[in-house]
Amino acid sequence: MLFDSFDFAIFLPLVFGLYWSISKYALRLQNAFLILASYIFYGWWDWRFLGLIILSSTVDYIVANKIYKAKKQSSKRNLLYFSLFVNIGTLGVFKYFNFFIDNIEFAFSLFESSLIFSRLDWILPVGISFYTFQTMSYAIDVYRGKLEPSEDPFSFFAYVSFFPQLVAGPIERATNFLPQFSKKRTFQYTKAVDGLRQILWGLFKKMVIADNCAVFVDMLFADPTAYSGSALLLGAIFFAFQIYGDFSGYSDIAIGTGRLFGFNLMQNFAFPYFSRDIAEFWRRWHISLSSWFRDYVYILLGGSRGGKVMTLRNVFIVFIICGFWHGANWTFIFWGLLNAALYIPLYVFNRNRDNLNTVAEAKLLPSLIELLQIVITFGFTVLLWVFFRSDSVSEAYIYLGGIFDSSILSIPDIQNKGNALCTVVMILFMLSIEWSSRNSSHGLDCVVLIRPRFIRWMFYFIIVFCIGMYSSQTPNGFIYFQF
């Protein structure tokens, strides 16, 4: 079930009304209802894969309790290994099996061997990379002694399957999110209104920005040799805003929906395209994933405790795994490596933590140096997104080669230039709103300050009007559903 679908427009208010109508009864009943609603939400896509969520939830619920009660450290470690085996194994079979088979066959072909293996002919379960990471972190935290396991299966299963963030995050930690299912929740009007505001902004970013950018991105990436360098550059920029509008838009809708039900989900995007270097970008982009890799991979490898050489090794490993997490394709691995190559010089020269504050803090506009830093960082990010979007590494090089052509100085030769110009205007509108809210948790936080009230409501009407008028006629599914 998609957030921007008619089905969800019916599902959400129905679940919202029933959820709060039973809030006066036992908390377990409310959590049980959330589990049922979440399974319906996920099963709407393909009910057969509900078994994977139930399996992951059951394994880690039982394993975490056994880890906590085990007396011997070896028993605790073996139980954790079992949890990791089940979760990573499930992820590996469904997401990476065919990738490894393809590369094994290619390796043998170099030695003139015609070895052929069977493939698994099934689709990737939506959200499997997100909920497996969520349950794994729970078992790991219990093993590390950072968290006591939940003794209430209703709370735990609701935590794993909570439908707003089930299929594309944020990847919530049990230390932050699980306790919220064990406390009585009461409806708060101001919290719900802010949730609706964030949902509205998320729908704008998805339906107006991402879906309109996708039309041109799909066209240009399908045959890059047919277009000028300027058109290809525009396509790369459009993809940067497509993936941002798509994924951060999903996160906004998920976080806003969570607020409607009385939950606080972590911020997943902190206006990353205003970053002044690549280190700041990764502190602001997909925060729940980058912090997950920091805490459960980087620190496990030794973090920065082994000197600079070992730290550089750990950074490379994390970026490679982060790239591979996104998909079973060498393009994602290259994308991770290139991000590491941009990050490493900052670390070597101790500049990776230069920009911890908000850009142009307490000022209306950035300084010329800050503006230049933002433009350069965004430019590198756009070029790296080409690898992320391309079907193969060779196609990415063809696309980049097309950009750096003398025709880059020409007017883009694309169809529907009027629609492209309108999309650029909408992007600039989005950026201006988010710039005004860059110290806040989401784009429309700044609107609360608008006085008088009727002007604020006129602003909301403009956004609704834009969604109605400028939504793409060919809506796309959320990009991160495939991860």
136 phi, psi to nearest 5 deg: -60, -45
How far is residue 155's CA from residue 143's CA, in Å, rounded to a whole number?
19
- Point out the catalytic residue in the list 205, 326, 389, 442: 326
Please tell me the distance from the alpha carbon of residue 186 to that of residue 16, in angstroms, as a whole number. 13
Residue 396 dihedral angles phi and psi, to the nearest 5°: -65, -40
In whole angstroms, give the CA distance from residue 13 to residue 36.
15
CA distance 333 to 387: 9
- Give the DSSP letter of residue 481: G
Contact call for residues 227 and 167 (beta carbons, < 8 A): no
User: Among candidates 433, 396, 385, 391, which has minimal Cα distance to 281?
Assistant: 385
* DSSP letter string, 339-363: HHHHHHHHHHTT-TTS--S-TTTTS
Contact indicator for 276, 377 with CB cutoff of 8 Å: yes
If one counts every other C-beta atom within 10 angstroms of the C-beta of residue 431, the result is 16
Angle between helices 211-222 and 417-436 (to 10 degrees): 130
- Separation in Å, CA 195 to CA 256, 396, 442: 4, 39, 10
Nearest CA-CA partner of 213 in 413, 4, 423, 421:
423
- Estimate to the nearest angstrom the gap between the alpha carbon of 438 and the chain centroid: 19
Report the largest interatomic distance among the alpha carbons of the chain, rounded to a whole angstrom.
75
Instruction: Find out whether 326 and 124 touch, Cβ atoms under 8 Å.
Output: no
Strands (E), 302-444: none
Q: Hey, how many other C-beta atoms are within 10 angstroms of the C-beta on 253?
A: 27
| CA–CA dist 243, 478 (Å, integer) | 9
**DSSP for 119-175, written as a single string:** ----PPPTTHHHHHHHHHHHHHHHHHTSSPPPS-HHHHHHHHH-GGGTTT-----HH
334 vs 340: CA distance, rounded Å? 10
> Is residue 326 flagged as an active site residue?
yes
Q: Which two tokens stand for residue 98?
A: 């065919």
Catalytic (active-site) positions: 326
